[in-house]
Chains A and B, each alone.
Chain A
Amino acid sequence: MNPEDAAARLHENERKVLLALEGRGAATTQELSAETGLARDAVEKASAWAETKGVVSFREEVSRSFNLTEEGRKYAEEGLPEKKLLELVASGRNEISALKEEFPSLNIALVWVRRNSWATIETGRLTLTEEGLAAKDEETVDDALLSSLKRTSIDNPDEDSMARLDQFVRRNLVGEFETVTRWVEITEAGRGLIPAVKRVKETRIITQITPEILQNGSWKGARFQEYDVTLPVPSLHPGKRHFISSIIDYIRRFWVELGFKEMTGDYLELSFWNFDALFQPQDHPARDLADTFYLKTPYKGRLPEGEIVDNVRRTHENGWTTGSTGWQYKWDPEVSARNCLRTHTTSLSVKQIAKLTPDDLPGKFFSVGRVFRNETIDWNHLAEFYQTDGIVIGEGVTFRDMQGYLKAYLEGLGLKQFRFRPGFFPYTEMSMEAEVWIEERGEWMELFGAGMFRPEVVKPLIGVDVPVLAWGPGFDRLIMQSYGVDSIRQLYGNDLGLLRKARLWME
């Protein structure tokens, strides 16, 4: 780079520093601050940049300095307590019990008087030694140090004075401070740039283009400060959708494009819709308190009117006209009226079927919503999560059709290697699991269940036996996989750091 360009690339402050260093050796940043009129941290910043460009060298020197503490200052004024004690004893007041009353610093003084061998104690009385008598009248080393510290701090002390200072530091009379002095020195390369820098100084340099500059035309003939375009800039945090919510939008659009109509509904559900209408017997383990949140308030609801409840009852008890044997037990409406938090959005699907008549068929419906499980929360389990349910109802829909819709769904989520295998759900027959191949783990991971609703589910709701394809994928695992989040709690943690950095869902 030629010197003109190199000089132009320097920041204004770097140029000021360089000029200030002309013709001298190392200077402290303090001195440079005085010379350039820049604040000391501006000088330091400029020097650090300039060092990366090789025009100055920059080094730090740490020095230790010692200053009186508040207590130390007090003794510097009044004298050390041990000296005071010497005077008191010399004046005849040598009885310790009496001294206790009139001399508050007695304990400290005693420690040092004894350590210096200035006095002996016998039967509660102090007697000065020869050293004590001598010390009383002369200025001791400690006194000298104290008065010197009173005038000014001691910087970088030698070993001897350090030993004395150490005692004062331990007595908390002196505090130690570190001062950093930063030295800047111009390099050969820097010296070579000086003429160019001087020339730059004569041209006007514009950093920020302002409205004034544009209005008065002063930019004409000026030079624009050149920037190091590789330097980092502060990051922005724009407003953003939460990625989960974006993915839900995507799933919604996906089903709509395949011709599905949305079902929505409440989170609180009668056990009737959540379980009974799905042909789950009333003693089924999935209905246990261990898995399902039941409600204290409102404890129970009203079973729907009309024949559906009776159809469901009979189907449970003996199969009704569905061609099934049923579960062969006495069905209890009270159990069915108990409120719970829906454990799956499949409850919306059965309610939808119950609203249809045979004339409304065929139909395709989907839902996306939260479901609840009474889980102990850990990295792998949450009490609530999202599910998307879909049903296709109509004469002639088949098991192969179900595989077709789910294949489209999985491909829509960008999955390539997946398979279908037999599964089990109390309310479907065929029951199926969709699994995806996880390369890193070398195994199949269960993604979601699907199936054809049992005739015992469908007929009581709509009055005829018609095939219904149904599926209920959760998608938390897929989001975790896609966003590289390894704990499900983190997924719902709303950590702004994660949300600000999360890549946009662009589908």
Chain B
Amino acid sequence: MPVIEVNLEDLRELLGKKVTTEELRDRLPMMGTSWEGETEEGFNLEVFPNRPDLLSIEGLARAYATFTGLEKGLRRYDVKDVGYRVIVEKKVEGVRPWFVTAVVKNVEFDDPLIRSIIQMQEKLHVTHGRRRRKVAIGLHNLEPVEFPVTYTTKPPDFKFRPLGERFEKNLTQILTEMHTGREYAWTVEGFEEYPMILDSKGMVLSMPPIINGEYTRIDEVTRDLFIDVTGTDLKAITEVLNIIVTTFADRGATVYAVENHYHDGSVLKTPDLRHKTMALDIDYVNGTLGMEYTPDEAAGLLARMGHDAEAGETLTVNYPCYRTDIMHPMDLVEDVAIAYGYDKFVPEIPEIATEAGEDPLEVFSRGLRNFLVGFGFQEVVTFMMTNPDKLFHRMALPVEPITETSNPKMEGYTCLRNRLIPGLMEVLASNKHHSYPQNVYEVDDVVLLDPSTETGARSERRLAVALCHARANFSEVKAVLNSILENLAVEAEIEEGGLDCFIEGRRFVAKAGGEPLCWAGEVKPEALEAWELEMPVAALEMNVEKLLELISS
């Protein structure tokens, strides 16, 4: 989740109040953010992905002002219209189809605002923008731009002077030679032509979502801006435009509309900063939260979250255009709860009679775990994720088909275990400095391929024991198995053979009803050597589900 740096002085100025760090530390988490600690100039704050409007200090101040009662209700924004026009050509359809724009004027571009805007732009690109693919924002100096602006595509040999460069470069050079080009080339990979924003003189404003043109560079004397947002999702880019524009408006800028003329004749006039409306039943609020608010109380609480609500059995809630997370009346219920304070609800446990119980396999497994303690064995809990080296090569076992992940970050964790014994061997190998005997066991799941299931794999509960000390041998491990079976009144036939990790002639499979129940034997010295163990090991592994089946029948 994104973390923003907040300058305390900026925030105080925007709020018009000398709030203290202590107050913010206490209240901001209750508003729905995470406090990430103080910094030299203020503090760091984690913003939840559903509230991109809080990614700027202006947005944060706006929300905090109503939350703490400094302000109340919906903040309204005016949009002027002087006939700015842009054209969206058909060529962009298969590349990067959506384009919305706005103009803001009289921007006081002082340091705090620039800091805040750059931070918000970066964070929006990462989160909402899915690293610029879904949404990318461009800010331009309005002054040189001649309308109408055109959003189109250009071939790779098209040239312009990218921001911060002294000479023109063609589009291929930008994508392969420039740092930002290489970083974002993946967003336009495979296209024959690349998206391009030009003004009516043919000068380049931007090659979205890669880089702006030098032509519309913003500097300290810039007062008026042209803003573009391009992307693959109209809803997302409209939301982002609204969030940016309202941030400027909060700093006193004047907002102007632009008509975006699409190739199919449709016209989108942006930004649309009008509030939206949703109906909210007071019974729904109270039923969900377990409260008894009156409609007036609920409206008051909604006002603390920046909404205007007309009270009634059904509240009519006007919510701001930048609240992109409101998809369902439940989202407004949450706002009521946050405004009231999560820490003020009185917790209660309802009396709901339901049938309780543990899974029978878990009950059985617990019984086995406790029984094995009686042998003096130490229970261990090992990872399910492992790798073929541990499962097969070090065990002197042939490789078998298993579940494997496609994108592991660590070499040690590439697949799921199909057997418990290798995990026990790893435990023994890492405990050579401790005293012997080291007799360990584990009762847990392995994962096996099984085409008959929904995913093609299933888990199976197993029990494994490894005996490791100077005299560990076949008879001892066989005696352990006998004792388990006797105490569960289960009978099994012992047959020579089984797993290749055991010495031939000192291994067996115990079968019940013709199916294998348990594999056991003395571990081969090859395997001991591979694990760098200088102590004999005798081990067994059994199918707990099969065992449960046998005692239940």
- Judge whether B455 and A424 touch: CB under 8 Å: no
Residues of A within 8 A of B385 (CB): 372, 383-384
- Judge whether A404 and B350 touch: CB under 8 Å: yes
List A383-398 residues whose CB lies under 8 Å from chain B: 383-384, 392, 394, 396-398
CB-defined interface of B107-139 with A at 8 Å, one 1/0 digit per residue? 000000000000000000001001000100000
Q: In the complex, A404 Cα to B348 Cα: how many Å? A: 4
- Judge whether B290 and A399 touch: CB under 8 Å: yes
Residues of A within 8 A of B440 (CB): 494, 496
With A400-B345, A494-B430, A496-B434 known as contacts, the answer to whether A295 contacts B384 (CB < 8 A) is no
Residues of A within 8 A of B80 (CB): none
Q: In the complex, A370 Cα to B32 Cα: how many Å? A: 29
- Judge whether B378 and A419 touch: CB under 8 Å: no
- Judge whether B356 and A362 touch: CB under 8 Å: no
A339, A421, A452: residue with the most chain B Cβ atoms closer than 10 Å: A421
Residues of B within 8 A of A242 (CB): 378-381
- Judge whether B356 and A497 touch: CB under 8 Å: no
The closest CB in chain B to the CB of A372 belongs to: B385
- Judge whether B288 and A467 touch: CB under 8 Å: yes
- Judge whether A245 and B404 touch: CB under 8 Å: no
B199 at the interface (CB under 8 A from A): no
- Judge whether B375 and A239 touch: CB under 8 Å: yes
Given contacts A257-B356, A384-B383, A492-B382, 19 further A-B contacts (CB under 8 A): A240-B373, A241-B369, A268-B457, A293-B405, A298-B451, A301-B453, A377-B412, A396-B287, A397-B352, A398-B287, A400-B291, A421-B342, A421-B343, A422-B31, A424-B49, A430-B333, A494-B431, A495-B431, A499-B380
- Judge whether B233 and A329 touch: CB under 8 Å: yes
**How far, in Å, is A394 (CB) from chain B's closest CB?**
6
- Judge whether B406 and A267 touch: CB under 8 Å: no
- Judge whether A324 and B407 touch: CB under 8 Å: no
Residues of B within 8 A of A304 (CB): 454
The closest CB in chain A to the CB of B290 belongs to: A398
B410 partner, pick from A255, A326, A376, beta carbons under 8 A: A376
Of A84-92, A165-173, A213-221, A258-266, which stretch is located at the interface?
A258-266
* A residues lining the B interface (CB < 8 Å): 237-242, 244-245, 249, 252, 255-264, 266-270, 283, 285, 289, 293-302, 304, 319, 322-326, 328-329, 339, 341, 362-364, 370, 372, 374-377, 383-384, 392, 394, 396-401, 403-408, 419-424, 426, 429-433, 444, 446, 452, 454-456, 467, 492-497, 499-500
Residues of B within 8 A of A257 (CB): 356
**How far, in Å, is B281 (CB) from chain A's closest CB?**
11
Residues of A within 8 A of B82 (CB): none
Residues of A within 8 A of B449 (CB): 297-298
Residues of B within 8 A of A263 (CB): 359
- Judge whether B384 and A384 touch: CB under 8 Å: yes
Q: List 27 A-B contacts (CB under 8 A).
A: A237-B378, A238-B373, A261-B357, A267-B416, A267-B459, A285-B49, A294-B407, A298-B449, A300-B456, A301-B454, A301-B455, A339-B456, A339-B457, A396-B350, A398-B289, A398-B291, A400-B345, A404-B347, A421-B342, A426-B50, A430-B333, A430-B337, A446-B34, A454-B330, A492-B381, A495-B430, A497-B434
B548 at the interface (CB under 8 A from A): no
**How far, in Å, is B385 (CB) from chain A's closest CB?**
6
**How far, in Å, is A96 (CB) from chain B's closest CB?**
54
Residues of B within 8 A of A455 (CB): 328, 330
**How far, in Å, is B3 (CB) from chain A's closest CB?**
14
B356 partner, pick from A256, A294, A406, A494, beta carbons under 8 A: A256
The closest CB in chain A to the CB of B434 belongs to: A496
- Judge whether B381 and A295 touch: CB under 8 Å: no
Residues of B within 8 A of A407 (CB): 347
- Judge whether A261 and B356 touch: CB under 8 Å: yes
A421 partner, pick from B30, B287, B346, B403, beta carbons under 8 A: B30
A241 partner, pick from B331, B334, B373, B384, beta carbons under 8 A: B373
List B220-242 residues whose CB lies under 8 Å from chain A: 233, 235
Q: In the complex, A455 Cα to B331 Cα: how many Å? A: 10
- Judge whether B288 and A494 touch: CB under 8 Å: no
- Judge whether A454 and B358 touch: CB under 8 Å: no
Q: In the complex, A444 Cα to B26 Cα: how many Å? A: 11
Q: In the complex, A403 Cα to B373 Cα: how many Å? A: 38
**How far, in Å, is A81 (CB) from chain B's closest CB?**
45
- Judge whether B377 and A239 touch: CB under 8 Å: yes
Q: In the complex, A421 Cα to B343 Cα: how many Å? A: 7
Residues of B within 8 A of A374 (CB): 405, 407-409
B552 at the interface (CB under 8 A from A): no
B337 partner, pick from A302, A399, A401, beta carbons under 8 A: A399
Residues of A within 8 A of B434 (CB): 495-497, 500
| 7 tightest A-B CB contacts, nearest first | A398-B290, A298-B456, A424-B48, A403-B347, A422-B32, A400-B290, A296-B406
**How far, in Å, is B59 (CB) from chain A's closest CB?**
16
- Judge whether B457 and A401 touch: CB under 8 Å: no
- Judge whether A400 and B406 touch: CB under 8 Å: no
A257, A426, A429: residue with the most chain B Cβ atoms closer than 10 Å: A429
- Judge whether B328 and A294 touch: CB under 8 Å: no
- Judge whether A429 and B330 touch: CB under 8 Å: yes
B404 partner, pick from A237, A259, A266, A295, beta carbons under 8 A: A295
**How far, in Å, is B41 (CB) from chain A's closest CB?**
20
- Judge whether A245 and B349 touch: CB under 8 Å: no
- Judge whether A494 and B380 touch: CB under 8 Å: yes
B312 at the interface (CB under 8 A from A): no
- Judge whether A383 and B413 touch: CB under 8 Å: yes
With A398-B290, A496-B434 known as contacts, the answer to whether A270 contacts B454 (CB < 8 A) is yes
With A237-B435, A394-B352, A454-B328 known as contacts, the answer to whether A420 contacts B342 (CB < 8 A) is yes
CB-defined interface of B360-386 with A at 8 Å, one 1/0 digit per residue? 011000100110111111111111110
Q: In the complex, A394 Cα to B375 Cα: how many Å? A: 46
- Judge whether B455 and A298 touch: CB under 8 Å: yes
Residues of A within 8 A of B349 (CB): 258, 401, 404-405, 408
B458 at the interface (CB under 8 A from A): yes
Residues of B within 8 A of A426 (CB): 49-50
With A267-B445, A455-B328, A495-B431 known as contacts, the answer to whether A302 contacts B348 (CB < 8 A) is no
The closest CB in chain B to the CB of A252 belongs to: B358
The closest CB in chain B to the CB of A383 belongs to: B413
- Judge whether A493 and B430 touch: CB under 8 Å: yes
Residues of B within 8 A of A364 (CB): 352, 354, 356
Residues of A within 8 A of B399 (CB): none
The closest CB in chain B to the CB of A420 belongs to: B342
Residues of B within 8 A of A370 (CB): 384
B402 at the interface (CB under 8 A from A): yes
With A264-B361, A323-B328, A404-B350 known as contacts, the answer to whether A492 contacts B30 (CB < 8 A) is no
B378 partner, pick from A326, A401, A421, A500, beta carbons under 8 A: A500
Residues of B within 8 A of A238 (CB): 373, 376
Q: In the complex, A262 Cα to B379 Cα: how many Å? A: 23
B327 at the interface (CB under 8 A from A): yes
B401 at the interface (CB under 8 A from A): yes
Residues of A within 8 A of B51 (CB): 424
**How far, in Å, is B442 (CB) from chain A's closest CB?**
8
Q: In the complex, A298 Cα to B361 Cα: how many Å? A: 26
Q: In the complex, A239 Cα to B375 Cα: how many Å? A: 7
The closest CB in chain B to the CB of A263 belongs to: B359
B155 at the interface (CB under 8 A from A): no
The closest CB in chain B to the CB of A266 belongs to: B459
